[in-house]
Copies of this chain bind each other. A is one copy, B any other.
Amino acid sequence: MLSLQSPLDMHLHLREQDMLRTVAPLTAKSFAAAVVMPNLLQPVNSLDKVRAYCSAIKGAISTACEDVVFTPWMTLFFRNYSRAELIAARPEIIGVKLYPAGITTQSEAGVRDFDAIAATVALLEELDIPLLVHGESSGFVMDREAEFLQVYADLIRNFPRLRLVMEHISTAAALEFLDKHEQMAATVTLHHLMLTLDDMAGGLLQPHLFCKPIAKTPRDRDALRRAVLAGHPRLIFGSDSAPHPRHTKECCGCAAGIFSAPVALPMLAQIFDQAGRLEALQAFVRDNGLRFYGITPPDKTVCLQRKPWRVPENYGPVRPFLAGEELQWQLVDAEV
């Protein structure tokens, strides 16, 4: 038996409407809080939209499971904000999420000109609002994360007190960069701890393993895994769980994203357990995030036991990560 105190998913996509109602309760079952991404069809780029989205999330969860403890930590979609806007939003957001334009799902409203963002980034630094970044260039897909490190370097040089999160890192290069810059943290997904490009395209093509950033080389995957298992204090679990209906994955022009919410904690427990590092999991799924963000999560104990179960083929219209596979750990009282 493993008891986790207030486990957190520090990078999560919940979408809207029916999809929100399908997936939000699954995260609420496993986690005490989650950092919710703002890349909806209409980006969450005002305080009003933050409030409306937050209330839709809470509604979706309370309808499904009345007494569950879960807090959505909201983010604003990066644009150039005024000081007044950021001061007003600050109490209700955990950070501002920056997407380069067009780099991933629903990021068309993202940044096109990194020379034009300085004023807003300066405000984030001054107001001590974390900046969460999808860090990919528009270059060759295997090189995008490494190429983007130059943007981080510029941000760090110009804004030395900015709290900066490299989201869902996928390369050894990003990890090395993190180690040189104390002001940064990075989220790491479950799937980037497990997959390489081989899993997606080495045999038959597996669209359900297609994600952005794309899974990289064995060397990259192994470096991430080693650092996470070693208890790197600035690596934070963020699932990047991103649900897409099957018909948008098994088609011509398939969407990027892996839906890992229902398997995240059990599979993490299995990975840490198999490495003999179960005691390091608590820091990865809570302490490292809290230390960086300086935030207090709701009290919640989530228990897992070493008992095999088979991952369902579908949750509503979505095929989950590891569908049909047998995992060695499961949530106690999980209804899957």
B204 touches A255 (CB 8 A): yes
Smallest CB separation, A88 vs chain B (Å):
36
A140 is an interface residue with CB less than 8 A from chain B: yes
Say yes or no: A252 contacts B319, CB within 8 Å: yes
What residues on B are CB-neighbors of A208 within 8 Å?
Answer: 252
- The smallest C-beta distance from A168 to any residue of chain B, in angstroms, reads 16
The CA of A204 and the CA of B207, in the complex, are separated in Å by: 10
Question: What is the interface residue range for chain A against chain B?
Answer: 20 to 34
A243-254 vs B, Cβ < 8 Å mask (1 yes, 0 no): 000000111111
Dominant secondary structure at the A interface: loop
Which residues A238-276 have CB closer than 8 A to chain B? 249-256
Partner of A252, one of B141, B142, B197, B206: B206
- A201 contacts B210, CB within 8 Å? yes
Question: Which of chain A's residues 192-224 have a Cβ closer than 8 Å to chain B?
Answer: 196-198, 200-202, 204-208, 210, 214, 217-218
- Contact A205–B197 (Cβ < 8 Å): no
Q: A142-B217, A196-B140, A218-B140 are in contact. Are A253 and B201 (CB under 8 A)?
A: no
* Cross-chain contact B141 with A204 (CB below 8 angstroms): no
The reply to whether B142 and A197 contact each other, CB–CB distance below 8 Å, is: yes
Assuming A140-B217, A217-B142, A250-B252, is B210 touching A205 (CB within 8 A)? yes
Is A198 a contact of B254 with CB atoms below 8 Å? Answer: no
Smallest CB-CB separation from A199: which chain B residue?
Answer: B141
A87 CA / B202 CA spacing, docked (Å): 37
Within the assembled complex, what's the spacing in Å between the Cα atoms of A43 and B141?
36
Q: A207-B252, A250-B251, A252-B319 are in contact. Are A214 and B201 (CB under 8 A)?
A: yes
> Which residues in A have some Cβ–Cβ distance to B below 8 Å?
140-142, 196-198, 200-202, 204-208, 210, 214, 217-218, 249-256, 319
18 CB contacts below 8 A, A to B, read: A140-B196, A140-B197, A141-B198, A141-B201, A142-B197, A142-B217, A201-B201, A201-B214, A204-B254, A204-B256, A205-B205, A205-B207, A205-B210, A205-B256, A208-B252, A250-B250, A250-B251, A250-B252
